[in-house]
Amino acid sequence: MFRIYYPKKLDEYIEISDNKSHKISSVLRMKKGEKINIFDGKGNSQIMEIIELNKDKISLRRIYSIVKKQKKQPEVILAVSLIKLSRFEIAIEKTSELGVSKIIPLITENTNDIFIKRINNNRLDRMRNISISASEQCGNDFISEIESPLTLEQIMSLKDEDTGLILFYENLKEIKNNSIDIKRFKKIIVLIGPEGGFSDEEFQNLQNKSIVLSLGEHILRTETAAICAIHEINSLLRITP
């Protein structure tokens, strides 16, 4: 069933009049009487029937609501260094599909200044739309929030008793991921460095505040490391007691 994100309150009757109405009527060629899953990105969703349809406006009537889903605990946040924006958007799309709660563009010593300067409100809006489309496609009733960029120091300041920092470090020799208990945290911030990695000074500071894990013996590109890291965290949350 086709799914659509609707950012407002889910009432018995709603209207969709943005570019999604064109997609429903002209691209998908849906008909009056067909059903659509509408969700608000906060765990609420409902099955609705098309009662009026044209390319500029779609009117829907609720058939039934689906039991509200609760966000998974702990909350998983991805802080990933800015890279070439087309590749950064791949990381957004795929980690949104994997269910991260937030994605924070990360600024480190080795982050290219060119990529930082290209981040503006329009680009952040584009990233948010990528996250929305990913949730629509994968069946996730929550939308991954896209935050404004933060420095590594700002991220590290978020560490407290309830928030764990997890660093996936490419030079870690010993793989001991399965012995780590991460369910004790309410929030987990996963740190992925830039091309060239974290500086030695950054690593030393992070090592004192973070759980350091490995993604294996190969050095991965940043967007690949982000996807693999979130998959690894999801696996750890499933298998740890």
Q: How much is the pLDDT for 175?
A: 55
Question: Strands 45-53 and 35-39, how do they pair?
Answer: antiparallel
pLDDT value at position 239? Answer: 54
Neighbours of 191 (CB within 10 A): 26
CATH code 2.40.240.20 region(s) in the chain: 3-66
User: Beta strands 58-66 and 45-53: pairing type?
Assistant: antiparallel
Q: Where are the beta strands (DSSP E) in 67-206?
A: 75-81, 102-107, 145-146, 150-151, 163-168, 187-192
CATH superfamily entry for domain 75-239: SPOUT methyltransferase, trefoil knot domain (3.40.1280.10)
- Which has the higher per-residue pLDDT, 28 or 162? 162
pLDDT digit string (tens) for 172-210? 655 555 557 788 899 999 999 998 889 999 999 998 888
46 has a pLDDT exceeding 90: yes
**Residues carrying CATH 3.40.1280.10, the chain:** 75-239
Span 120-131, pLDDT tens digits: 999 999 999 999
- Round to whole Å and give the CA distance between 105 and 133: 19
Q: What average pLDDT does this structure show over 89-96?
A: 97
The rounded mean pLDDT for the chain is 89
Confidence of residue 57 (pLDDT cuts 50, 70, 90): confident
Tell me: pLDDT of 100 over 70: yes
Q: Is the pLDDT score of 241 beyond 90?
A: no
**Which CATH class for the 3-66 domain?**
mainly beta
Helices 222-239 + 85-97 axis angle, to 10: 20
